[in-house]
Amino acid sequence: DFPPSDSGYHDYDELTDVVDKVVADNPDLAAKVGVGSSYEGRDLMAVKITSDVGTDHDRPEVLFTHSQHAREHLTVEMAVYLLRMLTEDYGTDPRVTEMVDTREIWILPNVNPDGSEHDIAGGSYKSWRKNRQPAPGGWAVGTDLNRNWDYNWGCCGGSSGSPWSQTYRGTAPESAPEVRQVADFVRSRVVGGEQQITAAIDFHTYGELILWPYGYTYDETGPGMSRDEYDTHAELGRLMAGSNGYTPQQSSDLYVTDGTINDWLWGEQRIFNYTFEMYPSGSGGGGFYPGDEIIDRETDRNREAVLDLLGYADCPYRVIDKED
Ligand code: 0X9
Ligand code: CA
Ligand code: ZN
């Protein structure tokens, strides 16, 4: 459990209760979809939100993933915020209503539930980042999910081959069951040869940053990233930063990484996508563990940015005045 002073955060059971209640209260808008299970057997939940949710519509699909890193608990609260915003404000907020009527939205509120639960076990924080899968043959535990994706895996010094490292990339791409199953889910959204998901945000903490691909190279353009594609990422990133006040930049400007979800979503799936590094901006604001009193403010802070991403999901190139 979370320490009593941070009871405003949701542990895995409480998150499950929120998801089940949102779905029960809004059967036409929200549905729970199984994506598989974690190493320790927890359900990797996805929630689909759209009007007339029982039908697979021909609407642009948008993906939100949360909590690849265990200790980044504020990202789960971001998922709770989005679940409530998209259902409670449907019918009253015209922008929310339009987006729920015209997009199919996938929220994966915790893709690393084993890590999250480990981080708070016994009521004290452990600064845990990775999943809870033991490395073969040794004592070390955990793969960094955000170094285990199958695009230029381990290419460029942006991950570690040591199981003891915080950025251990695993034994092979998708060796982590969580990554494998979320990737399978994304691949399952290819219908008639076309990836239905057009845009995505992967939520992390902290730093107050909006990051776009690639992370494996400092180059803006190159194989698989044209000038227009880069400019679209950058322009939409800057637009979103205009409302939440985060710093917009290419991922590698922070540091080089390889095997991240960002590079895979673009490099393999051609999904325009971002990492949001949420509150705080530096270690002064409580680092990975800000008090629960900041949850409402720091989740609502991303409301406009999320609605902007949803708004451009039909044609992201429009943000640079181009058609695809
Ligand atoms: O290192 C990560 O996976 C992300 N930062 S975190 O502090 N939440 O661990 C950043 C991923 C974005 N990609 C790059 N910075 N290259
Ligand atoms: Ca669809
Ligand atoms: Zn992270």
Residue 61 is a catalytic residue: no
pTM over 0.95: yes
Model pLDDT, residue 323: 79
Model pLDDT, residue 236: 99
SS3 of residue 155 by DSSP: coil
Model pLDDT, residue 184: 98
The response to whether residue 159 sits with its C-beta less than 6 Å from ligand 1 reads: no
Report CA(48)–ligand 2 centroid distance (Å). Answer: 11
pLDDT at 237 over 80: yes
Q: Nearest to residue 237, comparing CAs of 126, 312, 152?
A: 312
pLDDT at 324 over 80: no
| Dihedral sign for Cα atoms in the order 201, 204, 210, 215 | negative
For residue 147, give both structure tokens: 């170094």
ipTM over 0.90: yes
How confident is residue 172, by pLDDT bands cut at 50, 70 and 90?
very high
The response to whether residue 59 sits with its C-beta less than 6 Å from ligand 1 reads: no
The dihedrals phi and psi of 273, each to the nearest 5 degrees, come to -155, 160
Model pLDDT, residue 265: 98
Q: What average pLDDT is seen over the chain?
A: 98
Q: Are 155 and 258 in contact (CB under 8 A)?
A: yes
Amino acid symbol at 156: C
Cα–Cα distance for residue pair 76/82, rounded to 1 Å: 10
How confident is residue 322, by pLDDT bands cut at 50, 70 and 90?
confident
Model pLDDT, residue 137: 86
Model pLDDT, residue 316: 98
Average pLDDT, stretch 262-268?
98
SS3 of residue 135 by DSSP: coil
Enumerate the β-bridge partners of residue 203.
66, 276
Cα–Cα distance for residue pair 91/103, rounded to 1 Å: 15
Model pLDDT, residue 119: 98
Q: What is the pLDDT of residues 273-302, one digit of tens each?
A: 999 999 999 988 899 999 999 999 999 999
The response to whether residue 148 sits with its C-beta less than 6 Å from ligand 1 reads: no
